[in-house]
């Protein structure tokens, strides 16, 4: 299932009315007079809600239709949520080192004082009843989220002394077994004490739609004496479908955040559960991928599809529910991140992102991005989905260099099946279903030929059992037609399967009424108990229909006299493993990265790495109605960068267990510099484009490459980045001045300034516009166990000359070396070109730094 099929709102409307004084206005059917500071409502609220003019704005905003809206501070018909950051320090101050951060009782007292100051501040500036404070942020940010009932309130707050930054809330969207072996995770489990201990002592924060604690992927540990890691201070908030015993050793903490959704009226406690319970399925799926229990039976529709494990089966899960079937809001997500870091998590997995690029001088400065920078400063690795906007260029929705942004790939697991016709044709098809019983050939009938109307689409798309003639359908395999443009309306398939079962048919073949040109391998799939097959290849579809037509006798009016065509549907639930290399999935968002809403290109590589995200089995919530065809099931097979992200989060947990002192930047470096860019035979990895076209993958498709867990645990060399260097990076972003950086992070630009964004010590080099020459330096640290000599090998991008010095060096464990990489434009072009610097050590380590350069111009001599 591609994430795009999960219901969510990607754009909102802004309810708008004129605002004037001392006049009677007939706007949207509402009669009111503005009399000083109040509004006299002369017609009913119901009339307003039925006649309001909705204007779509480019920047997502909130809709909240309530009588209270009209009793607002100053004549507004809408209310909004704003996130306000104060000048005061949070608990984790940018001024303090990690050793000097407040902890324990001191931190708790400071948090209470900051929360009280937020309340006093709001009471001082805004009238009672004109606002509602939703959250106080105190750990990474000092600020609050407020639901204000007029725009004037926002203007008052933005101009108030002590306010550093105010940002309107924006919508967030979700980006929605065998894979531990495929990426090599299971191969390193023995080094970490076995599968059940791999990730032990590490807490992964899942900021998602919650979790179903009764799913077998999250059962309590076999060693019941295990307690949460000592550094974790989180708590378990029980509630609807989430009893206190839900925190059982595997789940060590659980909270939920929905105040923005409540303020907009979208949160419904009956549907969405006022607890950490997952009403959607998405959060359970991602949690099981990151850290689900080892060797869990995956049973769906009564069939055992095998056994699943998370990447780090021994890691603990802390659940921060901040997304829902309707999507989510940044203010809720920021509250979740703030709490997660305060609780002491080690990794944050975020399979969601804003639905638009924030306004302002740089995408790196929106409130969530800067908060995640502060999480990184606190030692927490942040893993985020790159997005599902591919294959369009610059479609990534995770921007900053301190975040590991994950692309999605396929695996070599395939579910293949066939149907056999009476004439001996074997037609390739898809469908996770059982076969028709025995080796019997079953009569084949087009749905339109066995329906009452007996005309084109007389079967009503196989959605209504009443239109079928029971005596004609029983015991037959029915051909149901879809329209390829409606393929992602998966309730259509659920309706088809349900209808065919109800009418007593032996099975169903689903094919395209018109084009028949869909690649089944890249479409959502789901298990069924009814023998079913999807024939989506154009040639196979035409052969099937030709065979049916040649063996169906009709009268002069076109009615069927005899059904002579027969078929048999084969088993389709057994996976095969081809050993094929991973491919970049077509929906996986692409680079180049952008700096701002004007789509100016950034000197930051995105995505960073690629992991399996296509057709991934994981836990599911049986109460979810997001996918009607699997309602009531405990497992689902989904696709998206939402699925690839927790793969990397789990791998990060393994690395942190093995190397507890490594910083988030060192862990990202280990993952990127050891990623695979070729298969075992040396062939380059490929990326899928539109309509099935395949091209060689570039760093803008797959980042540094496909994650390789064994090598990431032993990378030889790593690159590190300090918080101060991240500030230098922000201050080097074009269009960003000292004031903008101070508003965003509360810190001024360091006295020593970076000239270019490329000066940041990342495990890649991206230059969005190379004019003449540029020198960049990369500082590497040895994490090997002995002295090692490295030699530098260069594959230069087209139109660029690359020189690396030193080209050979010997480094001892714990020592650092500086590489100078000089790039010169030799042939200006009109696109990026790609290359690499590879450091090969004599102890078998290989460190790869990808290059992405746009050779813009040659400087005159």
Question: Which tokens hold the place of 751?
Answer: 């006295």
Bridge partners for 781 per DSSP: 718, 816
Residue 27 or residue 808, greater confidence: 808
Catalytic residue (choose from 61, 642, 663, 782): 642
14 pLDDT band, cuts 50/70/90, is: very low
3-class state of residue 703 by DSSP: coil
Catalytic residue (choose from 282, 614, 615, 845): 282
Q: Which region among 272-276, 465-469, 604-608 has the lowest average model confidence (pLDDT)? A: 465-469
Rounded distance between C-alpha atoms, residue 255 and residue 345, angstroms: 13
DSSP 494-517: HHHHHHHHHTT-SEEEEEESS---
Active site residue 842: no
Active site residue 555: no
Q: Determine the pLDDT at residue 726.
A: 97
Mean pLDDT of 668-676: 98
Instruction: Classify strands 442-446 and 616-619 as parallel, antiparallel or unpaired.
Output: unpaired
The yes-or-no verdict on residue 233 having pLDDT over 50 is yes
Instruction: Give the tens place of pLDDT for each residue, 514-527.
Output: 655 555 555 667 89
11 pLDDT band, cuts 50/70/90, is: very low
φ/ψ of 309, rounded to 5, equals -145, 150
Q: Which region among 55-69, 574-588, 730-744 has the lowest average model confidence (pLDDT)? A: 55-69
Question: Which tokens hold the place of 370?
Answer: 């800067």
Instruction: Give the tens place of pLDDT for each residue, 117-162.
Output: 999 999 999 998 899 999 999 999 999 999 998 888 888 998 899 9
φ/ψ of 727, rounded to 5, equals -65, -40
The yes-or-no verdict on residue 386 having pLDDT over 80 is yes
Instruction: Give the tens place of pLDDT for each residue, 563-589.
Output: 999 999 999 999 888 888 899 999 999
Q: Determine the pLDDT at residue 175.
A: 62
Active site residue 519: no
Catalytic residue (choose from 208, 449, 603, 759): 208
- Exposed e or buried b per residue across 69-104, where buried means at least 16 C-beta atoms within 10 angstroms of its C-beta: bbebbbbbbbbbbbbbbbebbbbbbbeeeeeeebee
């Amino acid at each position: 299932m591609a994430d795009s099929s999960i219901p969510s709102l990607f754009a909102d409307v802004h309810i708008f009315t004129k605002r004037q004084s001392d006049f009677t206005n007939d706007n949207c059917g509402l009669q009111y007079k503005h009399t000083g500071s109040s509004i006299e409502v002369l017609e009913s609220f119901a009339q307003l809600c039925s006649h309001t003019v909705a204007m779509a704005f480019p920047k997502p905003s909130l809709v909240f239709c309530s009588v209270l809206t009209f009793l607002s501070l100053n004549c507004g018909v809408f209310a909004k949520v704003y996130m306000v950051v104060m000048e005061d320090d949070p608990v984790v101050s940018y001024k303090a080192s990690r050793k000097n951060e407040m902890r324990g009782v001191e931190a708790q007292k400071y948090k209470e004082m900051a929360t009280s100051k937020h309340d006093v501040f709001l009471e001082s500036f805004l009238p009672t009843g004109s606002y509602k404070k939703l959250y106080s942020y105190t750990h990474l940010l000092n600020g609050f989220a407020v639901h204000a009932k007029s725009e004037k309130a926002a203007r008052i707050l933005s101009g108030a002394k002590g306010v550093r930054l105010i940002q309107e809330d924006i919508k967030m969207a979700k980006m929605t077994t065998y894979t531990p072996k495929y990426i090599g995770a299971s191969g390193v489990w023995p080094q970490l004490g076995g599968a059940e201990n791999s990730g032990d002592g590490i807490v992964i924060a899942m900021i998602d739609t919650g979790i179903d604690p009764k799913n077998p992927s999250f059962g309590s540990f076999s060693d019941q004496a295990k307690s949460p890691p000592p550094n974790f201070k989180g708590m378990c908030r029980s509630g609807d479908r989430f009893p206190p015993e839900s925190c059982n050793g595997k789940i060590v903490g659980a909270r939920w955040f929905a105040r923005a959704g409540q303020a907009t009226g979208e949160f419904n406690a009956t549907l969405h559960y006022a607890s950490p319970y997952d009403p959607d399925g998405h959060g359970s799926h991602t949690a099981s991928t990151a850290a689900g229990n080892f060797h869990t039976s995956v049973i769906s529709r009564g069939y055992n599809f095998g056994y699943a494990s998370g990447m780090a089966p021994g890691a603990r899960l802390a659940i921060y529910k901040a997304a829902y079937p309707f999507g989510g809001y940044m203010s809720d997500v920021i509250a979740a991140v703030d709490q997660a870091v305060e609780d002491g998590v080690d990794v944050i997995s975020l399979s969601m992102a804003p639905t638009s690029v924030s306004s302002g001088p740089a995408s790196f400065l929106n409130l969530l991005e800067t908060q995640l920078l502060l999480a990184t400063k606190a030692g927490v690795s942040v893993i985020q989905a790159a997005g599902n906007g591919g294959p369009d260029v610059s479609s990534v929705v995770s921007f900053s260099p301190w975040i590991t942004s994950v692309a999605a790939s396929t695996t070599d697991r395939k579910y293949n099946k066939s149907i056999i016709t009476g004439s001996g044709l074997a037609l390739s098809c898809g469908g996770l279903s059982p076969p028709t019983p025995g080796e019997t050939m079953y009569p084949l009938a087009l749905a339109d030929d066995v329906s009452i109307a007996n005309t084109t689409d007389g079967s009503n798309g196989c959605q209504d059992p009443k239109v079928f003639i029971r005596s004609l359908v029983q015991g037959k395999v029915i051909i149901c037609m879809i329209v390829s443009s409606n393929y992602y309306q998966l309730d259509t398939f659920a309706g088809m399967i349900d209808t065919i079962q109800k009418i007593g048919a032996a099975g169903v073949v689903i094919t395209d009424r018109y084009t028949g040109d869909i690649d089944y391998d890249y479409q959502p799939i789901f298990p069924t108990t009814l023998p079913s097959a999807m024939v989506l290849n154009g040639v196979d579809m035409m052969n099937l229909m030709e065979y049916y037509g040649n063996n169906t006798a009709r009268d002069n009016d076109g009615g069927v006299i005899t059904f002579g065509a027969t078929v048999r549907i084969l088993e389709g639930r057994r996976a095969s493993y081809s050993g094929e290399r991973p491919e970049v999935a077509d929906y996986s968002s692409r680079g180049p990265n952008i700096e701002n809403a004007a789509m100016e290109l950034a000197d930051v590589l995105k995505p960073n790495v690629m992991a399996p995200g296509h057709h991934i089995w994981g836990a599911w919530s049986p109460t979810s109605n997001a996918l009607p065809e699997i309602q009531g099931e405990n497992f689902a097979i989904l696709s998206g960068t939402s699925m690839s992200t927790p793969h990397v989060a789990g791998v990060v947990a393994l690395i942190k267990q093995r190397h507890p002192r490594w910083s988030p930047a060192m862990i990202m470096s280990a993952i990127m510099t050891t990623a695979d860019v070729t298969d075992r035979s040396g062939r380059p990895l490929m990326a899928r484009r539109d309509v099935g076209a395949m091209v060689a993958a570039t760093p803008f498709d797959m980042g540094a490459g496909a994650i390789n867990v064994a090598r990431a645990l032993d990378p030889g060399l790593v690159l590190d980045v300090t918080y101060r260097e991240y500030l230098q990076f922000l201050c080097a972003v074009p269009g960003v001045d000292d004031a903008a950086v101070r508003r965003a992070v509360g810190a001024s630009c360091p006295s020593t300034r970076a000239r270019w964004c490329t000066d940041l010590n990342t495990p890649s080099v991206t230059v969005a516009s190379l004019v003449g020459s540029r020198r960049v330096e990369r500082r590497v640290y040895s994490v090997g166990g002995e002295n090692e000599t490295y030699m530098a090998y260069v594959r230069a991008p087209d139109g660029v000359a690359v020189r690396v010095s030193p080209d050979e060096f010997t480094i001892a464990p714990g020592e650092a070396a500086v590489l100078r990489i000089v790039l010169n434009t030799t042939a200006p072009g009109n696109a990026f070109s790609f290359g690499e610097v590879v450091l090969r050590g004599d102890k078998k380590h290989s460190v790869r730094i990808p290059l992405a350069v746009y050779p813009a111009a040659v400087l005159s001599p």
